């Protein structure tokens, strides 16, 4: 069954129908979901969802754009919850230079601190990196992220960068963007990367695949991404689903 490695079902976009939607996933072929925290508040909700739904796991962490709320006291809290049984990763963490704020030094500081947390708790990391290719790679190399492992979520760089992260043992998160007309670079990355390093993700409610582009995304639309991967790799859709599920279980260290 399909494994959605990156969702935000805590998002208010799901307030109206969250329960109904999550209840349908299994019968529609979605077997497992990792919900990913992006702020302290969403990390808390993520944890509640994961503890409520057996098919859901949690990544706990603070997105680079939200790092102004972090301090060492909150890091103690993050460390405590990272030890809970349904927590499978630290994330999403990283760098986002698309916006001016928070300042880069602050983002880099909390990126490093959350990499430390993952190392201490022996958890993989979910990396968010936007318009910050070189700094992300430099920090991950300095911090020996190859010893931590994890996924580059919504991978948006080219083949050269993909090679660097694959060499560090990381997985690449592939979502709705692959179905966009203007996604030549990502299609090249998917063609280049070994099949055993790709995982599926929605990043819902964002980044819905064609033909839902611009609408609220959810795991039910992942078959459109499966079809795109299948076309590029020249393998059956069932194989895409099976291999990416296996990869996701290895990534998040689930039995």
Enumerate binding residues for Ni ion (CB under 5 A). 203
- Residue closer to Ni ion by CB (options 183, 242) is 183
- Residue closer to Ni ion by CB (options 21, 195) is 21
- Nearest distance from C-beta of residue 239 to Ni ion, angstroms: 26
- Residue closer to Ni ion by CB (options 64, 102) is 64
- Nearest distance from C-beta of residue 7 to Ni ion, angstroms: 8
- Residue closer to Ni ion by CB (options 96, 203) is 203
- Nearest distance from C-beta of residue 63 to Ni ion, angstroms: 7
- Residue closer to Ni ion by CB (options 10, 203) is 203
- Nearest distance from C-beta of residue 11 to Ni ion, angstroms: 10
- Nearest distance from C-beta of residue 218 to Ni ion, angstroms: 14
Q: Give a three-class secondary structure readout of the chain.
A: CEEEEEECCCCHHHCCCHHHHHHHCHHHCEEEEEEECCCHHHHHHHHHHHHHCCCEEEEECCCHHHHHHCCHHHHHHHHHHHCCCCEEEEEEEEEECCCCCCCHHHHHHHHHHHHHHHHHHCCCEEEEEECCHHHHHHHHHHCCHHHCCEEECCCCCCHHHHHHHHHCCCEEEECHHHHCCCCHHHHHHHHHCCHHHEEECCCECCCCCCCCCCCCCCHHHHHHHHHHHHHHHCCCHHHHHHHHHHHHHHHCCCC
């Amino acid at each position: 069954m399909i494994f959605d490695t990156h969702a935000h079902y805590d998002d208010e976009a799901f307030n109206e129908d969250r329960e109904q939607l999550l209840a349908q996933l299994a019968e529609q072929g979605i077997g497992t979901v990792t919900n990913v925290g992006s702020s302290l508040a969403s990390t808390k909700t993520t944890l509640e969802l994961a503890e409520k739904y057996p098919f859901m796991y949690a990544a706990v962490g603070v997105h680079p754009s939200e790092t102004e709320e972090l301090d060492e006291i909150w890091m103690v809290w993050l460390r405590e919850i990272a030890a809970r049984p349904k927590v499978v990763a630290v994330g999403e963490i990283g760098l986002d230079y698309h916006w001016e704020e928070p300042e880069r030094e602050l983002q880099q500081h909390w990126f490093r601190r959350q990499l430390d947390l993952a190392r201490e708790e022996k958890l993989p990391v979910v990396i968010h990196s936007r318009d910050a290719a070189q700094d992300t790679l430099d920090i991950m190399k300095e911090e020996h992220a190859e010893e931590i492992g994890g996924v580059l979520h919504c991978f948006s760089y080219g083949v050269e960068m993909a090679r660097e992260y694959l060499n560090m043992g990381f997985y690449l998160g592939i979502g709705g963007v692959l179905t966009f007309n203007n996604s030549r670079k990502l299609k090249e990355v998917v063609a280049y990367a070994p099949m055993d390093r790709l995982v599926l993700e929605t990043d819902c409610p964002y980044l819905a695949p064609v033909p839902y582009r611009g609408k609220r995304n959810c795991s039910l639309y992942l078959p459109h991404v499966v079809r795109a991967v299948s076309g590029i790799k020249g393998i059956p859709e069932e194989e895409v689903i099976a291999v990416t599920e296996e990869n996701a279980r290895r990534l998040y260290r689930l039995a």
